[in-house]
Structure 1
Amino acid sequence: MSTKGFLIYLVSSFSVALLSALFLTGTYDVKHYASLSPPSPIYGSENDKVWPELKVGWRVALATVIGFLGSAFGTVGGVGGGGIFVPMLTLIVGFDTKSAAALSKCMIMGASSASVSYNLRLPHPTKEVPIIDYNLGLLFQPMLMLGITVGVALSVVFPYWLITVLIIILFLGTSSRSFYKGTQMWREETLLKKEMARQKTTFVNSRGELLIDIEYEQLIPNQEKSSMQIVCFNLKWKMILILMAVWVSFLLLQIIKNSVEVCSQWYWVLFCLQFPIALSVFGYEAVKLYKDHKERMNTGNLEFICEASIEWTALHILFCALCGLLGGTVGGLLGSGGGFILGPLLIEIGVIPQVASATATFVMMFSSSLSVVEFYLLKRFPIPYALYLTTVSVLAGFWGQYFVRKLMGILERASIIVFILSGIIFVSALTMGVVGIDQSIKMIQDHEFMGFLDFCSSQ
């Protein structure tokens, strides 16, 4: 499946799903079901909190194992694992969906923070640049955070079954596309390993004589950097401060917005203020990438910018903006960090897997921590469970990065990261799909309203 074919698949599938929702809206009597509380995969259909007690038992043990593995491999793939955590916390532990989404953010924040901490000690595999691509972080993070706020709003308006269908379409599409990219990388790595093995054992001099097992020593040996030097080199404080400024701005707007009346004049003013903040930072980085790309083309320098093979034209930058907004929207609908879009997108535009994973988890650390602080202020999750699951995710984040890096060193294949990415998204599609379909069937049996809901009256 080509990139163009994948986009056609997403647009056509989303259009059919939305038209189906509009059709169902006209087939139900809205007034008859106006008293029903609107269901949502993020906020649920119940207003009461369901917080099971944290005690030793098979439920907590099973949740620990699933949470550990989901965090370990989710952060390696750069997707977080929210599609696994939310069903686990609702079906196995017994939390209500609101609290499950909040705890899922805590787990994503813990795992992504551990992953970023581990990656900061690693050098870039091919160049003398930081392993985290801060330019891509500045390009995607503002749009991702803006999309999350939009997704939370849409989760109140969209019917439950429609969100389930959209998530299945998106997850299956990105999973299959990532798997295809992984198989391509695997074949390229196989050819490269064969060529390197041939060159290592066989050399031919200028007279055509065969030379075997010759090793050449470098005249000037490379000086290896210490761990502290690598960490200092990987930290770009100017860009980190810009990202933190965006984070603080969004947090303050969310706190103030939650304190005013829903759908009031000030509510919409605060909601709209998010757009200029996100667009200004995105525009700054987009203009920078566009000028750098144009300058490189004029000078004949074909070296890729941001480790990506994409040409940073106006159309391609707009495409990245829409993908970042879509990733955040899905994150807001699902309760994830948006990595289900960002991770595959970075692979798609040509970022090498190690850098794509490090950059995606770096961006998710900001987006998930914003949600955790907001949920904490709203008292949306129990502190003991949050501390326990976050600790499990932190340990899993370190272990997952260590395990996969060792496995990559043994097999000498970076495509493993892409296959992990594809697998996590596919498992998330199954879990979210099963839970969503089951809940939708119950809603149909109870004759609940299946169309779009009013935003203001549904708060």
Structure 2
Amino acid sequence: MEGAESEWTSVKAFFKGLDTWQMETILKQDATKLFESTGDSEEVEYKPLPDGQVNDPPKANKVTILQNIYWKELGLLVFVWVAYLAVQIAKNYTAPCSTTFWVLNLLQIPVSIGVFLYEAIGLYEGRRRISSKGDEIMDWQVHRLLMFCACGVVAGIVGGLLGIGGGFVMGPLFLEMGIHPQVSSGTATFGMLFSSSMSVVEYYLLGRFPVPYALYFIAVAIVAAFIGQYIITKLITISGRASLIIFVLAFTIFISAIALGGVGITSTIGKIERHEYMGFENLCRYTA
């Protein structure tokens, strides 16, 4: 199941990358023709993202990172993070399948629906927009908003049950929405930060978090992130093609699918040889 899901996502991302590559090729050809017709000796600078304004502001007016943060939206994400974390921690101190256990679990539903409706209504009425799309008008119909909500739910289920990461679903989804590859990659990763950090805090408070083990992977991830960011930025600057990010995403998903599938098959064969039970266990027989 997880292999099929990952393969489908990988194929979708790959074909989206091909479409973006072709579009970039057309834009580069148009820029070359314009350069030849005007005879301008000044090289056209590659601008991967719009800044959300019709006219670029002077460089002296560029804002800092802190000034560029949408604090209201960040506060909403933090609220959801705290609410979910509180529910998960409280649930660990209740008897499995008790009334309190299910009430705490169901509390996550109104929080999710409330946040979704707040954002969806803002997009539908035009009070909110996607900053990376600049002044482009988006047609936010009800069925599209519901479809994106369903994709978010699927990403959460896939990430929670299969452990492949919601970014494997959200990344291609953002690309289908027409979001720029840079923004798609960054947003999917930023969203995974909240779900991953929630698990880290929860396990740490429960005394099940191996700190030295985690610090090692944190160090490796930070170094790899900086190296990867530097390399991909250089490649995009040299080639003028942001579609490289999409191909990297598709390749990563494909390799992950093969690795996860191989591990799953090996584990299944081992359990069959040992005659182990491979069905669903009873949730209510476990204690917190």
TM-score by length of 2: 0.87
TM-superposed CA distance for 1:306, in Å, is 6.5
Distance 1:222 1:259, change over 3 A: closer
**5+ residue gaps in structure 2?**
44-54
**Alpha carbons of structure 1 residues 309 and 385: separation in structure 2 relative to 1, 3 Å:** farther
For the pair 1:318 / 2:146, whether they are aligned, the reply is yes
After superposition, the C-alpha distances for 1:141-171 in whole angstroms (9 at most, x for unaligned) are xxxxxxxxxxxxxxxxxxxxxxxxx111100
**Displacement after TM superposition at 1:391 (Å):** 1.6
Question: In the alignment, is the contact (CA less than 8 A) between 2:171 and 2:188 conserved in 1?
Answer: yes
1:425 and 1:215 mapped to 2: Cα distance? Answer: 40
CA RMSD of aligned residues (A): 2.5
- The answer to whether the 8 Å contact 1:172/1:429 transfers is yes
Question: Structure 1, residues 352-376: CA drift from partner, whole Å, max 9, x if none?
Answer: 1011112112211111111111121
2: CA distance, partners of 1:230 / 1:214: 32
Q: Once the 2 structures are TM-superposed, how far is the Cα of residue 244 of structure 1 from its aligned partner?
A: 0.6
- C-alpha displacement at 1:310, in angstroms? 6.3
CA distance in 1, matches of 2:56, 2:27: 25
Amino acid at match of 2:238: I
- Contact 1:171/1:425 (<8 A) preserved: yes
User: What amino acid maps onto 2:13 in structure 1?
Assistant: S
Q: Which has the larger radius of gyration?
A: 1
Shift of 1:198: 1.6
Q: Does the CA contact (< 8 Å) of 2:96 and 2:285 recur in 1?
A: no
Question: Paired residue for 1:200, among 24, 29, 35?
Answer: 35
Aligned to 2:70: 236
| 1:447 counterpart = 2:275 | yes
Question: In the TM superposition, what is the alpha-carbon distance from 1:309 to its structure 2 partner?
Answer: 8.4
1:426 corresponds to which of 254, 268, 282: 254
| d(CA) in 1 for partners of 2:138, 2:160 | 27
Q: Tell me which amino acid in the other structure corresponds to 2:120.
A: A
Provide the residue aligned with 2:285 in structure 1: 457
Shift of 1:225: 4.7
* Deviation (angstroms), 1:453: 3.5
Label 1:304 to 1:387 Cα distance change in 2 as closer, same or farther (>3 A): closer
| Equivalent residue, structure 2, for 1:191 | 26
Q: Quickly say closer, same or farther: Cα 1:336–1:251, change in 2 above 3 A.
A: farther
Among 179, 188, 196, the residue aligned to 2:14: 179
| Percent of pairs with identical residues | 43
1:292 lines up with 2:117 in the alignment:
no
Distance 1:269 1:288 in 2: 30
SS of 2:126's equivalent in the other structure is: helix
Q: Which runs of 5+ in 1 are unaligned?
A: 1-165, 204-211, 297-302
Residues 1:254 and 2:88 aligned together: yes
* Residues 372 and 304 of structure 1, relative CA distance in 2, 3 Å threshold: closer
Q: Which residue of 2 aligns with 1:364?
A: 192
Deviations, residues 259-296 of structure 1 (Å, cap 9, x unaligned): 11111110001000010011101111111111118xx9
Does the CA contact (< 8 Å) of 1:182 and 1:418 recur in 2? yes
Please tell me whether the aligned partners of residues 310 and 350 of structure 1 are also in contact (alpha carbons under 8 angstroms). no
Contact 1:327 1:341 in 2 (8 A): yes
Is the contact made by 2:182 and 2:242 (CA closer than 8 Å) also made in structure 1? yes
Q: Secondary structure of 2:283's match?
A: coil
CA distance in 1, matches of 2:139, 2:56: 36
Q: 2:176 aligns with which of 323, 328, 348?
A: 348
Report the counterpart of residue 101 of structure 2 in structure 1: 267
Q: 1:132 is matched with which residue?
A: none
Alpha-carbon deviation of 1:377? 2.0
Tell me, in whole angstroms, the C-alpha distance in 2 between the residues paired with 1:222 and 1:284. 31
Rounded Cα–Cα distance in structure 1 between residues aligned with 2:182 and 2:2: 26
| Secondary structure of residue in 1 paired with 2:183 | helix
Q: Letter of the aligned partner of 2:249 in structure 1?
A: L
The one-letter amino acid paired with 1:323 is C
Asked if 1:387 corresponds to 2:222, the answer is no
For residue 448 of structure 1, give the secondary structure of its aligned residue in structure 2. coil
Structure 2: how far apart are the matches of 1:226 and 1:185?
A: 32
Q: Show the 5 A alignment for 1:24-423.
A: 166-203=1-38, 212-213=39-40, 223-225=58-60, 229-292=63-126, 307=133, 311-423=139-251
TM-score normalized by the length of structure 1: 0.56
The 2-side partners of 1:246 and 1:222 are apart by: 35
